[in-house]
Structure formats: C-alpha cells, structure tokens
Amino acid sequence: MDETTLDTAHAAMMAAPENDTARLRFYERMADAELYLLLEAEPVDDQINPKVLEAEGAQYLLAFDRAQRLAGYAGDAASYVALSGRNVAAMLEGQNLGIALNMDVAPSAILLPDTAVAWLRETLTHEAAQVEAKIESVLPPKGLPESLIEAIDAKLATATGMAANAWLVGVEYSGGGRGHLLAFIDSIPRAQDALVRAASEALTFSGIEAGAMDVGFFNHSDPTVTKLMRIGLRFDLPQMETLQNTPRMPGSDPDAPPILK
C-alpha cells in the first residue's frame, strides 16, 4: 500500500524524538486526516459504539487512516465510521480514552494516550483574538520560515470554496506596529471562523508564535487588494464545481461529533 501522509509524518517524528517541529507536524496531519474508527456495530441515530483496545493498562479507540488498513486489522465486514482526526479528538472530551492508530497494519502504528488526545483537542479549540487595525503600508513578506508557508498551503488546500484566494504580505499599521497578514479575498462569511482557525493552526503546528501573523478579509473591489496582488505571496483555494446532496454521516458536522454510547 502507498505511504500515507501520516506514515511520512510519523517516520519523521520517530527519527527525531527531540524535534518539536516534527512532532507538531505529525499531530497536525492526524487532525486533518480522515480516520476510520472501528465500531462494535453500525451507528444508530448518530450514536456510535467504538471498539476499545486494552493495552498497557489504558484504553484506546482503534483508528486507521485508510479503510483498507481497518479491513486488514478487523476484516472486510467490520463496522466503522469515517471522521476527521479533529472530530475524534472532540468526541473524546471527558473520556479517559486514547487513540490506537494503524495498529498492526502500518509503519505509523502508535498508541496515543488520553493526555495526548486532550492536548490536541485543546490546541485545536484555541481561539484567535480579534483585533481591528488600519493598514498603513503593504510590504513583501519576509523572514517567515518555510515550514509556515508549507503549513498554510496544506491547510488552505482543504478549504474548498471558502474564499477565492489568499495573499501573504508584510504590513505596517497606523499608530505603529508591523507584522505579516494573511488576507483572504471574497471569503464566504460563514467560513471566516474556519479560515481563522486554519491560519491559527498553521502557526501553532509550525511552532511559530501567534503574533507572527494576522488574518484579514477583503472584497476583491477593495483598493488594498491591488497592493496585495502586486507584492504578496498567493495561495489558491480549491473551488467547488457543483454542490451535491449526500447522506449525512455521523460526525459530518464538525461542530457536532457523534455521541459515544
């Protein structure tokens, strides 16, 4: 089976145990990944009964980053639900349960204790502060590590249809202060909170201080956008060609993870 992004991130983390960036990157990949959670039976009315693994005196839910890997562990007839890693972490709030990832079927097999899951959940629910400041001048982006650029690019690659595009620039504000700004153009209003979270997570999982980058939203007709496009670093967001009605699966709403029985 082809190597997955989780396999790659796990290998990098294990090869450099003292490297904070590698460890953060693994947790970021797990949060963004679609995980297949092994169940005792099919979900009923948004309630699920996950299969629990007893190991090393603790309990873990069994999760896999490919359906084929779950089948390799439990058989083709096994029941499961597909959830993002962030939804699994949210669902486990208040539970003394860890995550057993890819057990016995992949090089990225690892037992993540409940304390690690709690850390991930708290990191993902951190809310960025909202401020208002007038931009005095727009500058080319300088001095940001490549790891942050890669993290932003990876985050926005999953933000389908949330905005037309985004531009990273340096800014100077009226009254003093300078920094960097990630500017989203023609964003959907209801997606703005998600875009702020994506930018915040890109900072957090890159090991960069939160004050290193602000987030702003602009209409394409705003005069500032011309300056952004002239000197900024562009990020393209995938766009939806069609909207399809699909059955709602447990956990499909990021704000309402399924309920453990």
Q: Is 240 helix (H, G, I), strand (E, B) or coil?
A: coil
Give, as one character, the DSSP assignment of residue 212: G
Report percent pLDDT > 70 for the chain: 87
Burial of 222 (0-12, 13-18, 19+ CB in 10 A): middle
Of 74-88, 120-134, 165-179, where does the model show the most confidence? 74-88
The domains of the chain are located at 5-125, 135-236
H or E stretch including 242?
none
Residue 255 has pLDDT above 70, yes or no: no
Mean pLDDT, all residues of the chain: 87
Kindly indicate the confidence band of residue 247, based on its pLDDT and cuts at 50, 70 and 90: very low
The pTM of this model reads 0.70
Residue 125 has pLDDT above 80, yes or no: no
How confident is the model over 112-137, as a mean pLDDT?
80
Q: What is the pLDDT of residues 65-92, one digit of tens each?
A: 999 999 999 999 999 999 999 999 999 9
Kindly indicate the confidence band of residue 130, based on its pLDDT and cuts at 50, 70 and 90: low
Task: Decide which of 114 and 210 is more confident.
Answer: 114
Residue 182 has pLDDT above 70, yes or no: yes
Residue 245 has pLDDT above 50, yes or no: no
In CATH terms, the fold of domain 135-236 is Macrophage Migration Inhibitory Factor (3.30.429)
Q: Is 171 helix (H, G, I), strand (E, B) or coil?
A: strand
Task: Estimate to the nearest angstrom the gap between the alpha carbon of 170 and the chain centroid.
Answer: 25
Sign of the dihedral defined by the CA atoms of residues 209, 33, 118, 103, in that order: negative
Q: What is the pLDDT of residues 16-72, one digit of tens each?
A: 999 888 898 899 999 989 999 999 999 888 789 999 999 989 999 999 999 999 999
CA 261 – CA 248 distance, rounded (Å): 19
Torsion of CA 76, 78, 79, 81, to 10 degrees: -70
